C-alpha cells in the first residue's frame, strides 16, 4: 500500500472515530467539530511528513486553511468572553 493511501485511510478512520465520539457525548456545537477535526488533521499530517514534495505543499496549504479557521473560532470565543 502506498504512503498516500495509508494517509487517507488514517484520516478517514480518525475522523470517523472522533466524530462518533463527539456525537456519543452529545456535542451539538459545530465549532467543536471543526476545531477537533482540524487538530486531528494536523496531527496525522505531521505523522506523514515523508510524502512527495507536491503532496506536502497541498497538505500544507490545507493545514494552513484549517489552522486559520481554528484561529477564527478561538478569536470569536475570546471576543465573546471579553464582551461579557
Domain that holds residue 65: 3-83
**Please, what sign has the CA dihedral across residues 46, 53, 13, 24?**
positive
Res 13: pLDDT: 94
**pLDDT for residue 22:** 94
Q: What is the pLDDT along the chain (84 residues), one digit of tens a residue?
A: 777 788 888 989 999 999 999 999 998 888 888 889 888 988 888 887 776 777 778 778 887 888 888 888 888 889 988 988
Q: Count structural domains, the chain.
A: 1
Q: Is 26 left (phi over 0), alpha (psi -120 to 50) or beta?
A: left
Helices (H) and strands (E) counted in the chain, each on its own, are 3, 0
CA distance 68 to 22: 22
User: Is this model's pTM higher than 0.75 or not?
Assistant: no
Amino acid at each position: 500500500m502506498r504512503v498516500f493511501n495509508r494517509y487517507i485511510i488514517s484520516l478517514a478512520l480518525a475522523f470517523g472515530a472522533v466524530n462518533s465520539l463527539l456525537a456519543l457525548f452529545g456535542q451539538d456545537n459545530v465549532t467543536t467539530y471543526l476545531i477537533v477535526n482540524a487538530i486531528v488533521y494536523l496531527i496525522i499530517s505531521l505523522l506523514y511528513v515523508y510524502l512527495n514534495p507536491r503532496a506536502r505543499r497541498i497538505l500544507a496549504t490545507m493545514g494552513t486553511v484549517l489552522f486559520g479557521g481554528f484561529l477564527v473560532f478561538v478569536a470569536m470565543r475570546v471576543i465573546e468572553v471579553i464582551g461579557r
